[in-house]
Homo-oligomer: A and B are copies of this chain.
Amino acid sequence: MKRLALALPLLVSAVALADEGMWTFNGFPADKTKAKYGFSPNQEWLDHVRLSSVRLARGCSASLVSADGLVLTNHHCSRHCIDQLSTKDKDFVKNGFFAKTQPEEQKCPDMEVNILVEITDVTKRVQAATKTTPIEKFNDVQKAELATIEKECSGGDELVRCEVVNLYRGGRFDLYKHKRYQEVKLVFAPEEGIAFFGGDPDNFMFPRYDLDLSFLRIYGKDGAPAKFDHFLKWSATNAKDGDLAFVSGHPGGTSRLLTQAQLEYDRDVRWPVALARLSEWRGFLNEFAKKSPEADRTSKDDRFGVENALKAYKGRHAALADPAFFKSRVDAEKQFRDKVAKNGKLKKEFGGAWDGIAGAMDKLRGYRKELELERGPQSDLFSYARTLVRWADESGKPNGERLTEFTEARLPQLKQGLTAKKPIYDEYETARLGFSLDKMREELGPDHPVIKKVYGQKSPAAIAAELVKGSKLKDPALRQTLFEGGKEKIDANKDPMLEFVRAFDAEARAIRKKVEDEVEGATKKHGELLAKAYFAVYGQNTYPDATFTLRLSYGQVKGWKDGAKDVPATTTIAGAFDRHTGAEPFALPKSWLDAKGKLAGETPFNMVTTNDIIGGNSGSPVVSKDGEVIGLIFDGNLASLGGNYGFDEAQNRAVAVHSAAIVEALDKVYGAKRIVDELKGGAAGAKAGSP
């Protein structure tokens, strides 16, 4: 992990010599790509790529690849949909899915996609609103202002999603206006065995051989595929070593601007606690899955998610646990603080911000266990119940005073999630609820007043069994009725899960409020000061931390040196067959074994690029300077996990499916000619290469 230490100077000087940065579309440094790669994207290029980029609102990226709303993303980005559409007899996760005709495409129960149509700077308005606000009210006041701006922007239109984005930890606020689509259907998904070939052992590793892709299609309200002016064409030439590559996607979050106190919290509390928690969860899940094929199937989506998160968090923790890297961050902060301290004006205005944030972190340490109440147990039924119980109260409040997830900008997504026709499996739901009720008691202690009140003399497992057996909230129609019925209907319903939520909702809200006021408010307030100080000292020529909004990164197709070993930039389809052992997770699906003779072994399969990406970028298109798809991001290498805290061009790599492998597999393994034609022709029903 020593290599991460190299990244820091770039952050400090804000002069990105390397392919560093998740840049906003309204702040892209075209001069940098010009200088390094001889290509400078113009506004038309930027607009075209932006309007062809798609956000999956649950947390992934994607792109439009035809005028008829065909969307390319990862398998793991739509696997919750693939999973939800599966049944005991039809396991699309295991066996794959292909709608041979467009009418056979199946609706995803819980999928919202967004396309960014406009960005407006609202910094002055947001900062003015809190200019004289005392720190303990800062969060409330800012939140209300954001909600107001967002509501004005959408004008109540549910097909528009507006969000104010906090950039540079409060140094800038931009209003992002998206088109919102909730009618999304599954078109194609390969078997998990090839989408996630190598499984957890190979996850975040390279060389790789994964066809981690799926195709979705956006539909209009009229039930027909939606039409789009902008979409990315499929590259006719194969990307190769050294080629310039852009990645347009939605990195979920980075922490490159954290202060030392925040980094210490992450290193000493956040990650150790999360690693232990997720590890136990993983141990439980893997053993639970062995009970039966159905137990395996119904818990698989969670298992995938837990193992993925666990590996990612281990990488983040490892970056902070590296003494050289941590020291580089400490030194950089010291340099910054010294510069502020030496300037009387800056010192007076901003000098207290670091200690202010450190104080907030101290408070968070103290509140962490109590926050378990707000976190609540792992259970869909519990989530539904809590959403309903809170909606009963929140729906009566003005937009600006609501909990963020109930503000109007977010309500359509919340409602979709709540009412989705998503299966709930009693056995698994009971097991995971029991598991997490046990953990909740463990964190809070058996003598915590809430535990005494809510658990009484019952064991966590007994409570879970009663709740899952007794709750009627499994029924999406009931949830919809209650949501639409509002406070009166919800309050009148005595479903045991609703009652369970009510039993400690006041306490859960109380600790949330405390943390929002005392920790988040203070962090935002002092973060804004730090941002201003940073701009004053280092200028504005840098990129903000990732915020799950659209960003553009640049780089090239390029391998790296892993210790003494050269890792080439691409793998081939033949390599996948070499790695096949026949035992999970190194077992290729039958379709691939059958097609082996037809496949061109030398076809590039996966590739690495120097682009600066992070979780949330999954599903992002890799785009050539011609604006065409040359690959599909689905992972980063191990070093890239430390990218949360700093980027190192020598070691960090984005991992993508090569565009050539996609058409090769669609054509020769899956006989999915209609998709190949649409990709190459740019529209449904097109002949390949027609336009």
Q: Is A272 an interface residue (CB 8 A)?
A: yes
Please name all residues of chain B whose beta carbon is closer than 8 Å to the beta carbon of A285 when the two chains form the complex.
283
B205 touches A445 (CB 8 A): yes
- Bound complex: CA of A288 vs CA of B285, how far in Å? 11
A457 touches B581 (CB 8 A): yes
Copies per complex of this chain: 2
B272 touches A279 (CB 8 A): no
A272 touches B269 (CB 8 A): no
Q: How far is the CB of A364 from chain B (nearest CB, A)?
A: 12
B582 touches A321 (CB 8 A): no
Indicate whether A584 sits within 8 Å of B459 (C-beta atoms), given known contacts A201-B442, A267-B268, A283-B281.
yes
Would you list the 9 A-B pairs with minimal beta carbon distance, nearest first? A283-B283, A268-B321, A287-B287, A283-B284, A280-B283, A279-B280, A457-B581, A279-B279, A275-B276
- Bound complex: CA of A52 vs CA of B277, how far in Å? 43
- Bound complex: CA of A47 vs CA of B579, how far in Å? 67
Please give me the residue from chain B that is nearest to A271 by CB atom. B272
- Bound complex: CA of A473 vs CA of B287, how far in Å? 27
List 20 extra interface pairs beyond A276-B279, A279-B279, A462-B583, CB under 8 A. Answer: A201-B442, A202-B446, A205-B445, A264-B323, A268-B321, A268-B323, A269-B321, A271-B272, A272-B275, A275-B276, A277-B279, A279-B280, A283-B283, A283-B435, A284-B287, A287-B288, A291-B291, A457-B581, A457-B586, A459-B584
Please name all residues of chain B whose beta carbon is closer than 8 Å to the beta carbon of A31 when the two chains form the complex.
none
Out of B280, B321, B441, B462, which one reaches A282, CB within 8 Å? B280
Q: Is A626 an interface residue (CB 8 A)?
A: no
Q: Is A229 an interface residue (CB 8 A)?
A: no
**9 cross-chain CB contacts under 8 A:** A201-B442, A267-B268, A272-B321, A283-B285, A287-B287, A291-B291, A456-B581, A457-B582, A462-B583
- A272-322 residues at the B interface, CB under 8 angstroms: 272, 275-277, 279-288, 291, 310, 314, 317, 320-321
Q: How far is the CB of A600 from chain B (nearest CB, A)?
A: 25
Please name all residues of chain B whose beta carbon is closer than 8 Å to the beta carbon of A462 when the two chains form the complex.
583
Out of B201, B320, B456, B457, which one reaches A445, CB within 8 Å? B201
Q: Is A466 an interface residue (CB 8 A)?
A: no
Out of B201, B280, B320, B323, which one reaches A280, CB within 8 Å? B280
Q: Is A88 an interface residue (CB 8 A)?
A: no
Q: Is A200 an interface residue (CB 8 A)?
A: yes
- Bound complex: CA of A30 vs CA of B277, how far in Å? 46
A287 touches B276 (CB 8 A): no
- A156-204 residues at the B interface, CB under 8 angstroms: 198, 200-202
**Interface range on chain A (Cβ under 8 Å from partner):** 35 or more
- Bound complex: CA of A200 vs CA of B438, how far in Å? 11
Please name all residues of chain B whose beta carbon is closer than 8 Å to the beta carbon of A284 when the two chains form the complex.
283-284, 286-287
Q: How far is the CB of A277 from chain B (nearest CB, A)?
A: 7
- Bound complex: CA of A451 vs CA of B151, how far in Å? 57
Please give me the residue from chain B that is nearest to A272 by CB atom. B272
- Bound complex: CA of A560 vs CA of B279, how far in Å? 34
Out of B279, B314, B446, which one reaches A201, CB within 8 Å? B446
- Bound complex: CA of A323 vs CA of B264, how far in Å? 9
- Bound complex: CA of A416 vs CA of B194, how far in Å? 50
Please give me the residue from chain B that is nearest to A321 by CB atom. B268
Please name all residues of chain B whose beta carbon is closer than 8 Å to the beta carbon of A201 when the two chains form the complex.
441-442, 445-446
- A321-335 residues at the B interface, CB under 8 angstroms: 321, 323
Please name all residues of chain B whose beta carbon is closer than 8 Å to the beta carbon of A200 when the two chains form the complex.
442
Please give me the residue from chain B that is nearest to A638 by CB atom. B445
Please give me the residue from chain B that is nearest to A267 by CB atom. B268
- Bound complex: CA of A649 vs CA of B321, how far in Å? 31
Q: Is A131 an interface residue (CB 8 A)?
A: no
Please name all residues of chain B whose beta carbon is closer than 8 Å to the beta carbon of A268 when the two chains form the complex.
267, 320-321, 323
- Bound complex: CA of A567 vs CA of B602, how far in Å? 72
Please name all residues of chain B whose beta carbon is closer than 8 Å to the beta carbon of A310 when the two chains form the complex.
276
Please give me the residue from chain B that is nearest to A205 by CB atom. B445
Please name all residues of chain B whose beta carbon is closer than 8 Å to the beta carbon of A348 when the two chains form the complex.
none
Q: Is A458 an interface residue (CB 8 A)?
A: yes
- Bound complex: CA of A269 vs CA of B281, how far in Å? 21
Residue interface mask A338-365, B partner, CB < 8 A = 1: 0000000000000000000000000000
- Bound complex: CA of A269 vs CA of B275, how far in Å? 12
Indicate whether A583 sits within 8 Å of B281 (C-beta atoms), given known contacts A321-B269, A446-B201.
no
Q: How far is the CB of A178 from chain B (nearest CB, A)?
A: 38
Q: How far is the CB of A513 from chain B (nearest CB, A)?
A: 22
- Bound complex: CA of A586 vs CA of B458, how far in Å? 10
- Bound complex: CA of A284 vs CA of B289, how far in Å? 11
Please give me the residue from chain B that is nearest to A442 by CB atom. B201
Residue interface mask A567-597, B partner, CB < 8 A = 1: 0000000000000011110100000000000
Please give me the residue from chain B that is nearest to A282 by CB atom. B280
Please give me the residue from chain B that is nearest to A307 by CB atom. B442
Please name all residues of chain B whose beta carbon is closer than 8 Å to the beta carbon of A441 when the two chains form the complex.
201
- Bound complex: CA of A281 vs CA of B285, how far in Å? 12
Q: How far is the CB of A644 from chain B (nearest CB, A)?
A: 16
Please give me the residue from chain B that is nearest to A314 by CB atom. B276
Please give me the residue from chain B that is nearest to A361 by CB atom. B323
- Bound complex: CA of A178 vs CA of B283, how far in Å? 42
- Bound complex: CA of A441 vs CA of B585, how far in Å? 12
Please name all residues of chain B whose beta carbon is closer than 8 Å to the beta carbon of A582 when the two chains form the complex.
457
Residue interface mask A418-440, B partner, CB < 8 A = 1: 00000000000000000100000
Residue interface mask A197-222, B partner, CB < 8 A = 1: 01011100100000000000000000
